[in-house]
Amino acid sequence: MPKVTFNPYSITVEVVEGANLIRAAMDAGVHVNASCGGEGACGKCRVVVEEGEVEAEGAESIGEDDWNVGYRLACRSRVVGDVTVRVPSESLLDRKTLMRRREGIALRPSPIDLQSLKQIGLYNPAFQKRFVKLHRPTAGDNLCDLGRLEKALAKQHDIHHITLDFHLTRKLARVMRENNFEITATLDFSRRRYRFPHLLNVEPGDTTGRHFAFAVDIGTTTVWVQLIDIAGGEIIGTAADYNEQINYGDDIIARIIYSQSERGLSRLQGAVAATVNHLMQRLLKRFALNKEDISHITLAGNTTMTHLFYGIEPKNIRLSPYVPAVCNVPLARARDMNLDMPPHVFMNCVSSVSSFVGGDIVAGVIASGIYKDPRLTLYIDIGTNGEIVIGNKQWLTCTACSAGPAFEGGGIQCGMRATSGAIERVSINPETFEPMILTIDMSKPKGVCGSGLINLIAALSGAGLLEANGKFREDCGTERIRMGENGREYALVYAKESHTGRDIAISETDIDNLMRAKAALFAGYVTLIESVGLTLQDIEQVILAGGFGNFINIEDAVAIGLLPDLPRSRFQFVGNGSLRGATLLALSRDLLEEERRVAGMMTNFDLSSTPGYMDRYVAALFLPHTELDYFPSVRERLRNNGSNGRGEAVQKKA
Amino acid sequence: MPKVTFNPYSITVEVVEGANLIRAAMDAGVHVNASCGGEGACGKCRVVVEEGEVEAEGAESIGEDDWNVGYRLACRSRVVGDVTVRVPSESLLDRKTLMRRREGIALRPSPIDLQSLKQIGLYNPAFQKRFVKLHRPTAGDNLCDLGRLEKALAKQHDIHHITLDFHLTRKLARVMRENNFEITATLDFSRRRYRFPHLLNVEPGDTTGRHFAFAVDIGTTTVWVQLIDIAGGEIIGTAADYNEQINYGDDIIARIIYSQSERGLSRLQGAVAATVNHLMQRLLKRFALNKEDISHITLAGNTTMTHLFYGIEPKNIRLSPYVPAVCNVPLARARDMNLDMPPHVFMNCVSSVSSFVGGDIVAGVIASGIYKDPRLTLYIDIGTNGEIVIGNKQWLTCTACSAGPAFEGGGIQCGMRATSGAIERVSINPETFEPMILTIDMSKPKGVCGSGLINLIAALSGAGLLEANGKFREDCGTERIRMGENGREYALVYAKESHTGRDIAISETDIDNLMRAKAALFAGYVTLIESVGLTLQDIEQVILAGGFGNFINIEDAVAIGLLPDLPRSRFQFVGNGSLRGATLLALSRDLLEEERRVAGMMTNFDLSSTPGYMDRYVAALFLPHTELDYFPSVRERLRNNGSNGRGEAVQKKA
In this complex, the residue of B163, B174, B315 whose CB is nearest that of residue A313 is B174
Low-confidence stretches of chain A (pLDDT < 70) are 89-111, 191-195, 547-551, 641-654
Of the candidates A147, A196, A310, which has its C-beta nearest B169's C-beta? A310
pLDDT at A555: 87
CATH placement of domain B361-404+518-633 = 3.30.420.40
Distance from CA of A321 to the nearest CA of B (A): 5
Taking the CA of residue A327 and the nearest CA in chain B, the distance in Å comes to 6
- Most B CBs within 10 A among A190, A323, A327, A356, hence the mutation to make, goes to A323
Choosing among A146, A161, A163, A166, which should be mutated to test the B contact, i.e. which has the most B CBs within 10 A? A166
Q: Which of A148, A322, A329 sits opposite B169 (nearest CB)?
A: A329
Q: How far is CA B233 from CA A413, B117, B228, B239, B584, in A?
A: 69, 10, 7, 18, 11
Q: B465 exposed, middle or buried (CB, 10 Å; 0-12, 13-18, 19+)?
A: buried
Mean pLDDT by 10 residues, chain B (654 residues): 88 89 84 82 87 88 88 92 83 45 49 76 90 94 95 95 92 96 95 74 96 96 94 91 90 94 96 98 96 97 97 95 95 96 96 96 94 95 87 96 78 85 87 88 88 91 92 90 92 91 93 94 95 95 78 86 93 89 93 92 90 94 93 86 43 36
Q: Does domain B3-91 have CATH number 3.90.1150.200?
A: no
Chain A positions touching B266 (Cβ under 8 A) are none
**Number of CB atoms found within 10 A of residue A310's CB:** 24
In this structure, is the dihedral angle defined by the CA atoms of residues B260, B266, B269 and B275, taken in order, positive or negative? negative
8 Å CB contact between B182 and B107: no
Q: Which pLDDT value is given to residue B206? A: 97
Measured CA to CA, the distance from residue B303 to residue B320 in angstroms comes to: 15
Q: Which residue type occupies B168? A: L
Largest CA distance in chain A: 100
**Is there a contact between A305 and A218 (Cβ–Cβ < 8 Å)?**
yes
Q: Which residues of A touch B142 (CB under 8 A)?
A: 321-323, 354-355, 606
Q: Give burial (CB, 10 Å; 0-12/13-18/19+) of B496.
A: exposed
Closest CA to B241 of B209, B202, B283: B283
Q: Which run of H or of E encompasses B26?
A: helix B21-28
Dihedral sign, CA of A461, A467, A470, A476?
negative
> By the 8 A CB rule, do A96 and A640 touch?
yes
Contacts of A609 in chain B (CB under 8 A): 139-140
Rounded CA separation A567/A332 (Å): 45
Q: How far apart are CA A391 and CA A371, in angstroms?
A: 8
Nearest residue, CB atoms, B325 vs list A173, A310, A312: A173
CA distances from A529 to A368, A389, A534, A564 (A): 19, 10, 5, 12
Distances (CA, A) of A607 to A615, B138, B139: 12, 15, 11
Chain A with chain B: Cβ pairs closer than 8 A: 146
- In Å, what is the CA distance from B596 to each residue of A430, B193, B351? 82, 12, 6
Sheet holding B3-7, edge to edge: B11-14, B3-7, B77-86, B46-56, B71-73
Return the H-helix or E-strand segment holding B390.
strand B386-391
How confident is the model at residue B642, as a pLDDT? 55
Nearest CA distance, A146 vs chain B (angstrom): 5
Question: Which chain A residues are closer than 8 Å to B174 by Cβ?
Answer: 313
CB contact under 8 A, B170 and A320: no
Distance CA B574, CA B646 (A): 34
DSSP designation for A127:
E
Strand order in the sheet with B294-301: B234-242, B222-229, B212-218, B294-301, B346-349, B332-333
- Comparing CB atoms, the residue among A142, A145, A327 nearest residue B326 is A145
Q: What is the structure's pLDDT at A224? A: 94
How is chain A split into domains, by residue range? Answer: 3-91, 119-204, 212-349, 361-404+518-633, 406-514
Total residues belonging to chain A: 654
Task: Could you please state the CATH topology (level 3) that the domain comprising B212-349 is classified under.
Answer: Nucleotidyltransferase; domain 5 (3.30.420)
Strand partners, B216: B225, B299
Alpha carbon of residue B468 to chain centroid: 29
pLDDT at A468: 93
Is the sign of the CA dihedral A36, A42, A44, A45 positive or negative?
positive
Q: CB–CB of B142 and A312 under 8 A? A: no
Q: Is the CB of residue B218 less than 8 Å from the CB of residue B242?
A: no
Q: How much is the pLDDT for B89?
A: 59
Tell me phi and psi for residue A86, to 5 degrees: -110, 130
For B193, which of A196, A310, A352 is closest by C-beta distance? A196
pLDDT at A548: 64
What secondary structure letter does DSSP report for A466?
A: B
The number of helix segments (H) and strand segments (E) in chain B equals 17, 27
Q: Decide if A313 and B173 are in contact by the 8 Å CB cutoff.
A: yes
User: CATH: 3.10.20.880, 3.30.230.70, 3.40.50.2000, 3.40.50.300. Which one for A119-204?
Assistant: 3.10.20.880
- Per residue in A583-611, pLDDT tens? 999 999 989 989 999 999 999 998 888 88
Mutate to test the interface with A, among B183, B268, B326 (most CBs of A within 10 A): B326
| Dist. CA A448–CA A623, nearest whole Å | 20
Q: What pTM did the predictor assign?
A: 0.85
CB atoms within 10 A of CB B254: 14
Query: For residue A606, which residues of chain B lie inside 8 Å, CB to CB?
Result: 139, 142
Separation of alpha carbons B357 and B369, rounded Å: 17
CA-based nearest residue to B263, from B334, B324, B313: B313
Identical fold, B3-91 and B119-204: yes
